[in-house]
Structure 1
Amino acid sequence: MHIILYKTIDDNPFNHEVSIEGEKQNLGCRWSLPHYQFESLWETLEFDLPLKSQLMQYVFTVIRFDKANIDRTVIHCNQTILLYGPPGCGKTTLCKGLAQKVSIRMKELFNRFYFYELNAGSLFSKWFSESSHNLSRFFDDITRICYDPLTFVIILIDEIESLSISRKSSLSSNEPSDMLRVVNTLLTQID
């Protein structure tokens, strides 16, 4: 039996808000982990497949490869996990529970854990070209935090399918569109 003691954080999440023409828009949140609001999420999830253990093993493998300075040209391990399924099947809850569990089990390797939640459906601003700029600012914060090798970051991009719909519709029209810029900015930042 392996017992891990930890203390949850009860701070409110940091909201990435931008103000355009006096109007506030929330791009997403940054949570410090382990957070009390994510407590017991992992344990409440039930799946037919051994999905939870496979996800944990995958994340631990990525961390081990990174800590061992494995040459990525020799052994490639993608650091992106794509969860898909119908609305309400638990993808967001699974991601939050996974982030919480990783922050508890890997506390000896990292000093800080952050969970970023970006809702792709809320990215579009009514002000021309602001959406792409706002998204870049959101990822600038993530990039700044990732420079610390003792900080572990998990990013959830929820409702990402709304971006593919936006991209299709903007490509089919002849108008220059902020939607296409936002999608391209997001794809560049993910890469």
Structure 2
Amino acid sequence: MDEAAGELKLALPSVLDSLQVQVEVHQKSNSTANVDEIRSHVTHLLNKHSVVFGDYTWTEFDGAFLVKNVNSVAIVDTELKVKARQPIDLSKCNVIIHVFHLNDEGPIAESLEEDNEDLVAANHWILPAVEFNGLWESLIFDNEVKTNLLDYVTTTLLFSDKNINSNLISWNRVVLLHGPPGTGKTSLCKAMAQKLAIRLSHRYRFGQLIEINSHSLFSKWFSEVESLTAARNASRVGTEPSDALRVVNAVLTQIDHIKRFPNVVILTTSNITEKIDMAFVDRADIKQYIGPPSSAAIFNIYMSCIEELMKCQIIYPRQQLLTLRDLEMIGYVDNNVSNLSLLLNDISRKSEGLSGRVLRKLPFLAHALFIQSPTVTIEKFLQALSLTVDRQFEERKTLKDST
């Protein structure tokens, strides 16, 4: 208490003082080392590199034990909590180490027989799965989508563990991701399931992802989640079979039953939110809009693509580009790195309007259409990328004019 001023002043801790740092350790498939032993060696590695600047991955190790048993050690998701680039002292953070294997068996299809043909009703993965390795990191959004989803699941587990009375405080473990096609909604569902399987590996031996093929499952009347409302309304006015109404009611009833299980989360996607039944919307705890990426998000998407091409030596020699944050802090400096970064920023700005699905294809198309050589400099690659963006919009205009 400041007596002179008569005000109570609280010293609030900084974000870094209470930061949880997540470390994901990919154990080799042929390793028989126990988890505690791996954690001990990883802790020793982190003690030698106690200060980091954001996310970092080790794939090469000095110690024989890690070389034999571990594919990678990755500090992940720091950017979800720390927005400004700054040193993170691991010794002052709560470091949580997750050790996991990747399942390489692929999905199992569950089929239904209809009119003498098999329809794939669902695909079933054991998680963490090889197919989804790195998917979470590849998804770049403008807002705190990933943070909110992870925090949401953490709270659902906490409330279940504490036996919170669900009649007094209700949660359904249902998430609705909505927005235009190609923005990463389905990929985010798969990546989220993979991330949870890794984060909860201390609690559950493995995770399971069941992807419902709604088009096949409700092929007579439905195509997407949003068709539920149309089917129910149509049934009420007599334009659809009464079976449609029973199916939709059954889906909603089963969602109510599933919420009793603390280890189940339902992730749903929709492109046409105005057609979703309000009874379903009310059951969704989170209704998250996933929109087209802004120029800043596009810049980061392109940066991740360029890093991958540099790592594989298609873009050679390797050259460091400035991030958007670096450009804002440093300002304009007349040198090659700064000029290349500004060029990428210009390309990102003129790419606005393209979906994430399209943006991830453009580096491939840039090479296929304008380069076609085993290696290329960063300067020539950016020129090719710029031409490819122009071509995308020209193709769109041509398609629009021809319809």
Instruction: Work out whether the TM-score is over 0.5.
Output: yes
- The reply to whether residue 180 of structure 1 matches residue 200 of structure 2 is no
Residue identity matched to 1:66: S
- Are residues 1:73 and 2:138 paired? no
**Superposition deviation, residue 175 in structure 1:** 5.9
Q: Aligned ranges for residues 34-49 of structure 1 at < 5 Å?
A: 34-49=128-143
Instruction: Specify the code of the residue in structure 1 equivalent to 2:224.
Output: E
**Partners of 1:111 and 1:91 in 2: how far apart?**
27
Query: Could you list the runs of 4 or more consecutive aligned residues of structure 1 that deviate by over 3 angstroms after TM superposition?
Result: 174-177
- Distance change >3 Å, CA 87–CA 2, structure 1 → 2: closer
Partner Cα distance (2:158, 2:148) in 1: 15
Cα distance change of structure 1 residues 80 and 101 upon mapping to structure 2, 3 Å threshold: same
Residue type of the partner of 2:238? Answer: S
The secondary structure found in structure 2 opposite 1:60 is helix
Question: Which aligned pairs between 1:3-82 and structure 2 lie closer than 5 A?
Answer: 3-5=23-25, 6-82=100-176
Query: Matched residue of 1:63: which SS?
Result: helix
Q: What is the TM-score with the length of structure 1 in the denominator?
A: 0.75
Q: Deviations over 1:66-118 (max 9, x none)?
A: 22322223433331111111122111111111111110011111123111111
Superposition pairs of residues 89-108 of structure 1, within 5 angstroms:
89-108=183-202
Q: In 2 relative to 1, CA 110–166 (structure 1 residues): closer, same or farther, beyond 3 Å?
A: same
Structure 2 counterparts to residues 113-128 of structure 1, below 5 A: 113-124=207-218
TM-score (norm 2): 0.37
Q: Percent identity?
A: 42
Q: Which runs of 5+ in 2 are unaligned?
A: 1-20, 26-99, 257-403
- Taking the aligned partners of 2:127 and 2:240, their CA distance within structure 1 comes to 43
Structure 1 position 166 matched with structure 2 position 231: yes
How many residues are paired up?
A: 161
- The 3 A distance-change label for structure 1 pair 22 and 73 is same
Counterpart amino acid of residue 3 in structure 1 = V
Asked if the contact 1:27–1:118 (Cα under 8 Å) also holds between the matched residues in 2, the reply is yes
The Cα of 1:2 is off from its aligned counterpart by 4.0
The amino acid across from 1:183 in the alignment is V
Q: C-alpha deviations, 1:105-133, integer Å up to 9, x for none?
A: 1111112311111132222355xxxx9xx
